[in-house]
Chain A
Amino acid sequence: MRQTATIERPIMRVLVVEDDKKIASFVARGLKEAGHSVDIADRGDDALDLGLHNHYEVAIVDLMLPGLDGLSLIERWRAQKVKTPVIILSAKRSVDDRIKGLQVGGDDYLTKPFAFSELLARIQALVRRSSQTVEPTTLSYADLTLDLLSREVRRAGKKIELQAREFALLEYLLRNAGRVISKTTILERVWDYNFDPKTNVIDVLVSRLRSKIDRDFDRKLIHTMRGFGYVLKLE
């Protein structure tokens, strides 16, 4: 059975638990622009109540909070059978902190400072995972299709040969079509590197992919967003 992923944008209710007003409003504004409805809690204990009495598709939780710290908040939610997927926001970047966050029941971990596009991508991935929709076997955008089983890529019906890393990058861009993907994320998702080697390997990979996907076509799909990263979209 083949299913084609459509770029759907369901409206979600998101709870943002963050005591830094600037960060909270930055996140909330971005989420509202993306069409979601947002509640903000600036205290851990307030967030506990909100989470217990409302249904959210996803919660974004800072770790350092007044009232009740983020880890305890997640723990209490999980103890009360609140299954809302949680993305942890933290200024701590050590592996230990990450592991601790995931152990108490967090679903993803994002280190400050972060790009909003990155947060949005993670939210989308989490919701997709938790809503347990059937994994599509074909990804498509505009006249570009990518078959995950036969690993065949076609644009306007024309077959395009890609190497493994090029395929992996295109798959990731397609899954997040329309969203800007940072270089750090690409290193993480395409090469499984969780540090920034400060190299030009990503530029080279993207330019190779671009030459295969876009060079022979008038409508360019892969765009460089200076300061942000790359995005797959129709201009």
Chain B
Amino acid sequence: MKPVRLSLATRFNLWFSVVVILLALALFLIAYFLLYRAVQRSDREVVRAQAEIYRAWYAEGGLPALTSRFFEQESGGRETFFLRVLSPQRAALFASVPKNLGALDVSELQDIMPSEAFALVWKTLPADEKSRGWLIETERLPDGGWLQVGKTTEAQTSLLHQFRVVFAWVALVALLFGIAGGAWLTRRALTPVRQLIGTVENVIATGRMNERMPVPYTEDEIGRLTQLFNVMLEKNETLILRMREALDNVAHDLRTPLTRLRGVAELALQGEPNTLTYRDALLDAMEESDRVLTMLNTLMDISEAETGLMKLDLQPFRLDEVVRDAIELFEFVAQEKQITVSTALSPALVVRADRNRLRQVLVNLLDNAIKYSAPGGRVEISAEPRADEVVIRVSDTGTGIPPEEIPRIWERLYRGDKSRSQRGLGLGLSLVRAIINAHGGSIEVQSTVGKGSSFVIRLPKD
């Protein structure tokens, strides 16, 4: 198989992966944002609760009560919380930073003091080399001073960091699975297509039409395509076989008259030079070549009709008009032989067929009927509609066909004992049958020696 630069499978897979990545990224962003919000809220709640405690202590006994409890009590939180109290003049009265939690640049907190009592302002100081990140609230105390309580955002940061790490791993694994799964899926889905390509390439390379594809069990589009492709191969194969056969037949059938043609010339040249002999031979040769031409045309017609290549101009028309045309052609011939040609047609019977071809069929059958009838005989063309077909019958009171000859009369170039003395190529009935079959109809003959024959055509009503 010729490699495709960016195969359908690769493109499917690429698209699939891109979609997976984008989807994962979106999920991560949403989850991260939600987590961040949740962590921040819980941190604020902790700070808030602690600030409430400090405010209560301050309310009970002012700064001394607050500081003494801050240092003495277990719940004072001096190991965890940053605490600063400012006077109404914004002078720091008290400040404590947990000693094992590093530095805190309080200058950042100078300008965030709310003016009204009980108002709250939150400030987040991002982490840098010198200090950890801090979450700090500032509130106004009833005496006009300010209370600032803070907590490191360390827990929050490390949680989000872990989340990112975990997610990165999960995303990596998901992506790998996605790519592998995508590859597997597209491969699986495209296997029949690959087989199709392989088969087609094989057919093109070898010219053999007998290859078939394994049809998948599923009834999906690919299965349908495979089936249809097999049907197409089948049809092509039949067509090619038939055409080959037709070509062989035509070649075979032409050899005889061409041999005769050559024979005529050779015979003339063998004797003494003689203008009259030559003239005769040349005339023979011309007639013979005309015969070859007619034969070739008729054989081509038969082959085209048999292989389904004959173009039929299917139109509805009145059958009686065509029958009248055909009979008119033989008017004088029939008169001369004193043969009565009559019709028994259902009035205004319309058939859908190729008008010229059907006329050709009738002309051929009439020609036979008149040819093989003795003077005084009768020929009748009748037609009647049935449920889903039209039956046309051409009957004569002629010599009839012996039963053993009946199956062979349709063969190309077959001529019965009686017809050998008559003019003709032995192709008429083959052409008749081929044309009728090409119309989807059938033809058969009923015949009794000495009494006559009856050719019955059945044409489908569509």
Q: Which residues of A contact B (CB under 8 A)?
A: 93, 95-96, 113, 165, 191, 193-201, 204-205, 208, 226-228
- Nearest B residue to A93 via CB reads B297
A-B contacts, 9 of them at CB < 8 A, read: A113-B293, A191-B329, A193-B363, A194-B356, A195-B297, A200-B333, A201-B333, A226-B283, A228-B286
Which residues of B311-357 have CB atoms within 8 Å of chain A's CB atoms? Answer: 311, 328-333, 336, 356
B14 to A: closest C-beta gap in Å: 49
**B287 at interface by CB-CB < 8 Å:** yes
CB of B294 within 8 A of chain A?
yes
Task: State whether the Cβ of B428 lies closer than 8 Å to any Cβ in chain A.
Answer: yes
Other A-B pairs, 6, CB within 8 Å; known A113-B293, A197-B329, A199-B363: A191-B328, A191-B329, A195-B360, A197-B360, A197-B367, A198-B425
**B356 lies within 8 A of A201 (CB):** no
Interchain Cβ contacts within 8 Å, total number: 52
Who on chain B is nearest to A190 by CB?
Answer: B329
CB <8 Å contact, A196 and B294? yes
A199 to B293, CA, bound (A): 16
Given contacts A199-B367, A226-B283, contact A204 B332 (CB under 8 A): yes
Partner of A201 from B283, B294, B330, B425 at Cβ < 8 Å: B330
**A204/B336 contact (C-beta < 8 A), A113-B289, A226-B283 known:** yes
Does B199 touch A at the CB level, under 8 Å?
no
Q: Given the interface contacts A198-B428, A208-B332, does A227 sit within 8 Å of B360 by beta carbon?
A: no
Is B423 among interface residues, defined by CB-CB distance under 8 A?
yes
Chain A: CB-nearest residue to B422: A200
Q: Which residues of A contact B331 (CB under 8 A)?
A: 165
B interface list, Cβ under 8 A from A: 283, 286-287, 289-290, 293-294, 297, 311, 328-333, 336, 356, 360, 363-364, 367, 423-425, 428
A204 touches B333 (CB 8 A): yes
CA distance A198 to B333 in the complex (A): 13
Q: What residue of chain B has the Cβ atom nearest to residue A195's Cβ?
A: B360
User: Which chain B positions have C-beta within 8 A of A205?
Assistant: 332
Q: A195-B360, A227-B287 are in contact. Are A201 and B311 (CB under 8 A)?
A: no
Q: How far is the CA of A97 from the CA of B388 in the complex (A)?
A: 36
Chain A residues, Cβ within 8 Å of B311: 95-96
A129 to B398, CA, bound (A): 48
Report the minimum CB–CB distance from B298 to chain A (whole Å).
8
> Is the beta-carbon distance between B424 and A198 smaller than 8 angstroms?
yes
Indicate the member of A95, A191, A197, A228 with the most B CB atoms within 10 Å: A197
A193 to B363, CA, bound (A): 11
Q: How far is the CB of A200 from chain B (nearest CB, A)?
A: 7
A93 to B294, CA, bound (A): 12
> Which residue of B is nearest A203, CB measured?
B333
Which residues of chain B are within 8 angstroms of A197 by Cβ–Cβ distance?
A: 329, 360, 363-364, 367
Distance between Cα atoms of A147 and B235 in the complex (Å): 59
Chain B hits for A95, CB < 8 A:
311
On chain A, the residues within 8 Å of B332 by CB distance are 165, 201, 204-205, 208
Instruction: Kindly identify which residue among A193, A198, A199, A227 contacts B286, using a CB–CB cutoff of 8 Å.
Output: A227
CB contacts (< 8 Å) of B293 on chain A: these are 113
Is the Cβ of A198 less than 8 Å from the Cβ of B329? no
A113 vs B294: C-alpha distance when bound (angstroms): 11
Residues of B contacting A204 with CB < 8 Å? 332-333, 336
A21 to B422, CA, bound (A): 39
In the assembled complex, the CB of B369 is this many whole angstroms from the nearest CB of chain A, namely: 12
Which A residues are in CB contact (< 8 Å) with B328?
Answer: 165, 191
Task: Determine the distance from Cα of A198 to Cα of B363 in the docked complex, in whole angstroms.
Answer: 10
- Give the chain A neighbours of B330 by CB distance below 8 A: 199, 201
Q: Is the CB of A199 within 8 A of B360?
A: no
Is A201 in contact with B329, judged by CB distance below 8 angstroms?
yes
Q: Which residue of B lies closest to A95 (CB)?
A: B311
- Closest CB of chain A to B398's CB: distance in Å? 16
